[in-house]
Homo-oligomer: A and B are copies of this chain.
Amino acid sequence: MTEASPAARVGRPRRSSRQMLEDAAAELFLEQGYPATSIEQITQRAGVSRNTFFNYFGAKSDLLWIDLDPSIAALVTALGASGSEEGTRLERLTTLILAVAAEHPASRVPWALSQVELMGTRADLEASAPARLLALAEAIQTFVAPEESEFIARTIGSVAVGAIAAGVGAWIAAGVRRDRLETYVAAALRPALAGFTNLAKGTR
CB-CB < 8 A to A194: which residues of B?
194-195
Q: Which residues on the B side are within 8 Å of A187 (C-beta)?
A: 151, 155, 203
When all copies of this chain in the complex are counted, the total is 2
Residue pair B163, A155 in contact (C-beta under 8 Å): yes
Contact assessment for B203 and A155 in the assembled complex, using a CB-CB cutoff below 8 Å = no
Partner of A203 from B129, B165, B191 at Cβ < 8 Å: B191
Q: Number of A residues whose C-beta is below 8 Å from B?
A: 35
A188 to chain B, nearest CB (A): 4
Contact yes or no, A157 B166, CB < 8 A = yes
The answer to whether the Cβ of A159 comes within 8 Å of any Cβ in the partner chain is yes
Complex contacts, A131 vs chain B, CB 8 Å: 126
A195 touches B190 (CB 8 A): yes
Nearest chain B residue, comparing its CB with the CB of A152:
B191
CB <8 Å contact, A155 and B192: yes
Q: Which of B129, B130, B167, B192 is close to A192, meaning CB atoms less than 8 Å apart?
A: B192
Mark A residues whose CB is within 8 Å of B: 126-131, 134, 151-152, 154-155, 157-163, 165-167, 169-170, 184, 187-188, 190-196, 199, 203
